Amino acid sequence: MGKLLSFSFWNTVARLILRNRIAILVLLIATTIGFSTQWKNLRFTHTEANLLPDDHPVNVEYNRFLDQFGEEGNLIILGIENSHLDTYQKFNAWNALSDTLETYGEIDLILSTSNLPELIKSQDGSTFEMKPLVTKPLQSQEELYDVKNKLYKDLPFYKNLIYSEKDSVLRTAIYLKKEIVNTQERKEFVLDDLVPLLEQQELDIKVSGMPYIRTLNAKNIVDEIGVFLLAALLITSGIFFFFFRSWRATFISIITVVVGVMWAFGILGLLQYEITVLTALIPPLIIVIGIPNCIFLINKYQQEIKKHGNQAKSLQRVITKVGNATLMTNLTTASGFATFIFTESTLLKEFGIVASICIVSIFLISLMIIPIIYSYLPLPKERHLEHLGKQWIGAFVDWMENMVRHHRISIYISSVVVLIASFIGMYQIRISGSLIEDMPKGAQFYKDIKFFEESFDGIMPVEILIDTRKKEGITQSKTLKKLERLEEHIIETPELSRPLSIVSLIKYSKQAFYGGDPEFYDLPTSNERMFMAPLLQNSATDVSLMSSYVDSTGQTARITTFMKDMGTDRMERVEENLIAQVGNIFPADTYDTLITGKALVFQKGTNYLINNLIISLSLAIVLIAIFMAWMFRSYKMIVVSLVPNLLPLLITAGLMGFIGVPIKPSTILVFSIAFGISVDDTIHFLAKYRQELIANNWMIKKSVYGALRETGVSMFYTSIVLFFGFSTFTISSFGGTVALGALVSATLLFAMLANLLLLPSMLLSFERHFSNQKTIKKPAFPIIAKEADEEE
């Protein structure tokens, strides 16, 4: 009864599509136009990926810091090696650049040698004053020498802030207005104003800072979308043409996937999701997944035409026979992506929602477009059907059958050896929580990041908040000494840069009190504070940069340091050491402390995703197992079907350990994606296998070889398309995207071999367990309909 209902359903679908061709085409065109109107809502992310849920404690703490002190990532840094400012003319040009930038409305503050304030005591000794280090353009080399000598030797306050202690690299600190940091205005300033201005300079200027890095990184993502789309389309359609040798079939498949891509962009716009490094992969992903749908449908159409030459019957059978199996394979693939919906990470949730919707959409599009277009075209010519009898494909099928028939022991031994090696490799996998590891290594902005990291000991902000629980508690002598102790610990930590805090300003004030002598750059004693107090009270100005390091009540202080790019393990040790030191210096019974910042938030997000990987992958396995149970109604078949799909995942994990590819936000996607796609081959094989069992009166060997010959070619076709399709991601300049493409491609190749060699070998070896209808019960519905001559 179930079989009749299922066939009746798909027969009804076939009639509906073929009898309402014009109406469906109009509906498809209208829907595509409707989605295209949503493209105006497409927008690119202005922030780096937040991998944690919004209500995660780490996010809550970070947002609390932002509420109190504002956006931390508003600093753009310009740097130049001291040796490149060897003449006073070049030094003047360097200062002129800062003067020009100060005229832009997007900038809140610039700190550079052009306006560097020197704190001095007034002539009458009654107050502190700010005097510019450079008051006018330099006129001689002697003046240049005096300025540099003054800066490097007499102004320790600016050490590792304006100049590098290591190599005397000079830098300009540009603080954007905090309200534009996460907006389109920031992007326009960086790309339309800053970058062209810097390109006009004759000096060798390095640029970094989170606003700049975010903008250039986002621009690379945008630029690569078009490259991915074109590469995926050319490669997959090229392989398609190689297999089919038909321009007509190739063009139809291109139309199908292009409509799917248009829908993908429309769905993104309709849901108003930002285009991130993940959602940017969805349009080319639709091409890669859509082409195999076209292969199954067009290949079946051509097989039917070659068999009986009746176009109406052929088109009907394309829908009734392939539609069911293609639906199941697309649903399992969509399920692999849909598991990301349950991670509670907004980034992954949006990716999972859009990807799963688009995969189901491309199935519907291909099921309607391909039969309808072919119904208006003449029958394929003989040369278009020649690929169905290619000798090299027959040789490949013969090789598979020979391996399964005569070398099953070798297949098992090889599988066990590879499995053991994979477990060894898995123990060597490292975890990466780096913000910059996936960025394009060849891009200039990445090289500049490494330049500043080398000179200034880090570029990823880490923030420490100290709450004294009472007004003006920060300015008390004991609190300042505690802050200084913490700063000394940070300075001694090689992975952290020299910190910035109110302590530096207090030290600078003492130096100014003693006539600018750098020997007195230190915290004042109680007596010195008493003498300095009147000067501080009479001073109407301070270093404006420092005003953001203490709140308005004087109760809470902020210490900012920068962390080097490093592995997660080392980052965690640095964090643990820092937490212990903060807790030791500022006891919890007296002070409230918080350690946060972009670097730590991203690292915590990576660990969160890794913990959720097990949940996501387990959920994918459970969903696929439920599909298998529903289709085959046999727990033994579930076990047999999962083995050849889990083995490739373990092989890939081992491979990652051996070649040094870390677990990170981009690579943890590999397993759920690859599992959802690779199980498609298992469904096709087992569906055909059961059909062969019924036809051959439950003769196992004959049924296995029959299924292998019938499905082997299609599995080979689609696996090759998927392999090269995902390989297009390796042309990316983003390391994470390259790793994702290479690893998914490798996993799918392993999965193809496992499904063509290991799966049939297991069915033959456990023949007694699969030799009756009690083991393989009647399915909920036939995935592949039996041959029949029903016609419209």
Helix (H) or strand (E) holding 546, with range, is none
Q: Which residues pair with 496 in a beta bridge?
A: 563
> Rounded distance, CA 637 to CA 690, Å?
11
Instruction: Kindly give, in sequence order, each residue whose CB lies less than 8 Å from that of residue 566, ignoring residues fewer than 6 positions away.
Output: 434, 495, 574
pLDDT per residue as tens digits for the range 375-407: 888 877 666 566 555 656 667 778 888 888 888
Angle between helices 444-456 and 210-244 (to 10 degrees): 140
Other beta carbons within 10 angstroms of residue 16's beta carbon come to 13
Share above pLDDT 70 across residues of the chain, in percent, rounded to a whole number? 89
Tokens of 720: 């090759």
pLDDT at 33: 92
Q: For all residues of the chain together, what is the average pLDDT?
A: 80
Closest CA to 733 of 217, 25, 370: 217
Helix (H) or strand (E) holding 478, with range, is helix 477-492
Mean pLDDT of the region 282-306? 82
598 near 73, Cβ under 8 Å?
yes
pLDDT per residue as tens digits for the range 568-619: 777 888 888 988 998 899 998 888 888 888 777 877 777 777 777 677 677 7
What residue type is assigned to position 653 of the chain?
Answer: A
pLDDT interval class at 260 (50, 70, 90): very high
Q: Which residues pair with 371 in a beta bridge?
A: none
The length of the chain is 792
- CA quadruple 310, 311, 313, 317: dihedral, nearest 10: 130
- If you write DSSP's letter for every residue of 129-185 in order, what string do you get? EEEES--S---SHHHHHHHHHHHHHH-GGGBTTTB-TTT--EEEEEEE-GGGTTSHH
455 near 166, Cβ under 8 Å?
yes
pLDDT per residue as tens digits for the range 232-244: 888 888 887 877 7
Answer with the residue of higher pLDDT: 263 or 247: 263
Query: Which three-class secondary structure state does DSSP give residue 126?
Result: coil
> Rounded distance, CA 443 to CA 658, Å?
27
- If you write DSSP's letter for every residue of 273-323 in order, what string do you get? -EE-TTGGGHHHHHHHHHHHHHHHHHHHHHHHHHHH--HHHHHHHIIIIIH
CA 460 to chain centroid: 18
Q: Degrees (nearest 5) of the Cα angle 546, 548, 553?
A: 105
> Rounded distance, CA 450 to CA 448, Å?
5
Fill in the DSSP letter of residue 731. Answer: G
Instruction: Kindly give, in sequence order, each residue whose CB lies less than 8 Å from that of residue 603, ignoring residues fewer than 6 positions away.
Output: 433, 568, 571, 572, 575
> Rounded distance, CA 98 to CA 61, Å?
35
- φ, ψ of residue 209 to 5 degrees: the values are 105, 145
Closest CA to 512 of 119, 210, 223: 119
> Rounded distance, CA 395 to CA 736, Å?
38
> Rounded distance, CA 324 to CA 240, Å?
22
499 near 487, Cβ under 8 Å?
yes
> Rounded distance, CA 127 to CA 538, Å?
5
764 near 700, Cβ under 8 Å?
yes
pLDDT at 362: 92
Mean pLDDT of the region 194-214? 86
Q: How many CA atoms within 13 Å lie on the side-chain side of 252?
A: 25
Other beta carbons within 10 angstroms of residue 46's beta carbon come to 18
What residue type is assigned to position 657 of the chain?
Answer: G
Instruction: Work out the burial of residue 584: count CB atoms within 10 Å of its CB; fewer than 13 is exposed, 13-18 middle, 19 or more buried.
Output: exposed
Q: Which residues pair with 43 in a beta bridge?
A: 274
pLDDT interval class at 48 (50, 70, 90): low
220 near 734, Cβ under 8 Å?
yes
Fill in the DSSP letter of residue 558. Answer: E
Identify the residue whose tokens are 């990170």.
Answer: 664
pLDDT per residue as tens digits for the range 77-135: 888 888 888 898 999 999 999 889 988 888 888 888 888 888 888 777 778 788 888 88
pLDDT at 417: 92
